[in-house]
Structure 1
Amino acid sequence: MVQSVDRALKIIDLISQHKEGRGVTELATHLDLNKSSIYKLLSTLVEHGYIEQNQKTKKYCLGYKYLELSSILLESIDLRAEAKPYLQELEAETNEVIHLVVYDQGEVIYIEKLEGNETLRTHSKVGRRAPMHCTSVGKVILSYLPEQEVLSIIEKNGLPRHTDNTITDKDKFLKELHKIRNQGYGIEIEENEVGITCMATRYLIIEEK
């Protein structure tokens, strides 16, 4: 592992967690580094457009480089193009918000969102990550993963409570995953956001040989 690269990536992760940005002292405390080292890493990230400094607050925020990279990434995901017609059809039939997500490192990432025609709006955005244990899409993905991988994800991330309806007991949660796999779809009723109910299923692409 290249130490300077590792530290730079940790800085990016820390900054991305706060919309208002983070200051040098805060970053130095989190990473247990001196301010001089933080300044050097930040100056390099600023030079390349990955980080920007708010001139009023002097805090550092994500740069516009990420919009460029995210746009390139989304355009390169074949799954979006494959699924888009079906998502649009589902949106037309239900008038509801429709999501397409992928699994990444113990979380789900929204890679497509259709708003529907209803007035209800969710906090989800394309590119945003979400927990797996309290979202219908996450639970469906977990239900098809090997049990050992599921247990590892639970061990790493836990089952934190987001609402009163979040399943936080491991045994109950594993039973829920078994039920989802048997029925082929998952439902969550206000487990992630109060007032929001979601249903999800897998989208499979079968390649012809």
Structure 2
Amino acid sequence: MSAVQSVDRALDVLEALAERGGEAGLSEIAARTGLPYGTIHRLLRTLLARGYVRQESDRRYALGGALVRLGGVAERMVAVWAQPYLAKLVELSGETANLAVMEGDFVVYVAQVPSPRRLRMFAEVGRRVLPHSTAVGKALMADRPDAEVASLIERTGMPRRTENTITDLPGMLAELKRVRACGYAMDLGEEELGVHCLAVGVRDGSRTVAALSVSGPAERISALDLEGLAGDMRAMAAGFGAELGPAGPASPVGSPGSPGSPGDGGTG
């Protein structure tokens, strides 16, 4: 079935706003979408009328409140779909598995299956963190051009969470180059001392929309076959991305297992 052009273009406008941190001027939307100004104006009028976009006092456009309801429902559905993948990841690693997405300039944890071990790490579902100090944040940023990463970091800053946190833009761009080259991201005690995490991006076909991670005590994560685990995680991410993409739901991976109860703190 062919795409409806006006719907396709309206979604391009919304995605352009999201990629600019939720707010952009007309010229920025045009640069991102390649659409003529007249077309963008017509699309924005409809989106404004439906509450999906609002116009600020400086005449810039921002994502509107009507998206909150849709986003909340979609986030809950993604969390449900992720459970079999996360459970399988816990079986493979023995550690807590997480799913995170980017909301504006923040990383948000939307689903988790805890490790069955007595000492385990977890990031509370719904927790929002800046992307520079987490493996999931790096996996999500690695899909973006350096200029876009620089704009994001200019807005958020790079506060030092621990003595290991990367706090300068050149250092982060070098780290993201490494992530792109090896296919996975690491947090080596950068968000919380003593906690290590490994993450891979989840693509829906055209872009990275989420990140899968495992997190645990530094000594246990370091003892894992990280290259092998990252390969398994990329395969899982490909399956989950296919489920999220236009082709529709895929067959679940493995059995969901028993989630267990939250543990003693940490991140992913």
Q: CA deviation at 1:119?
A: 2.7
Q: CA deviation at 1:123?
A: 5.6
Between the aligned partners of 2:95 and 2:195, the Cα distance in structure 1 is 11
Query: Is the Cα contact below 8 Å between 1:74 and 1:111 reproduced in 2?
Result: no
Change (3 A) 1:116 1:74: farther
Which ranges of structure 2 fall in alignment gaps of 5 or more residues?
1-67, 204-240, 249-268
Which of 244, 247, 253 does residue 208 from structure 1 map onto? 247
Report 1 or 2 for greater relative contact order, CA contacts < 8 Å, sequence distance ≥ 6: 2
Query: Is the Cα contact below 8 Å between 2:83 and 2:112 reproduced in 1?
Result: no
Matched, 1:113 2:112: yes
Q: What residue is the counterpart of 2:194 in the other structure?
A: 195
Change (3 A) 1:145 1:154: same
Alignment TM-score, normalising by the size of structure 2: 0.48
Between the aligned partners of 1:168 and 1:143, the Cα distance in structure 2 is 16
Query: Is the Cα contact below 8 Å between 2:189 and 2:196 reproduced in 1?
Result: yes
Alignment TM-score, normalising by the size of structure 1: 0.61
Q: CA deviation at 1:74?
A: 5.7
Q: CA deviation at 1:170?
A: 1.3
5 Å-filtered alignment, 1:19-168, equals 73=72, 77-122=76-121, 124-168=123-167
Cα deviation digits, residues 153-202 of structure 1 (max 9, x gap): 11011111111100112111100001101211101110000110000001
Cα deviation digits, residues 24-69 of structure 1 (max 9, x gap): xxxxxxxxxxxxxxxxxxxxxxxxxxxxxxxxxxxxxxxxxxxxx9
Query: Is the Cα contact below 8 Å between 2:114 and 2:122 reproduced in 1?
Result: no
The count of corresponding residues between Structure 1 and Structure 2 is: 140
Between the aligned partners of 1:112 and 1:123, the Cα distance in structure 2 is 11
Letter in 2 for 1:208: A
Query: Is the Cα contact below 8 Å between 2:142 and 2:177 reproduced in 1?
Result: yes
Query: Is the Cα contact below 8 Å between 1:162 and 1:193 reproduced in 2?
Result: yes
State which structure, 1 or 2, has the greater radius of gyration over its C-alpha atoms: 1
Query: Is the Cα contact below 8 Å between 1:134 and 1:167 reproduced in 2?
Result: yes
Between the aligned partners of 2:174 and 2:99, the Cα distance in structure 1 is 25
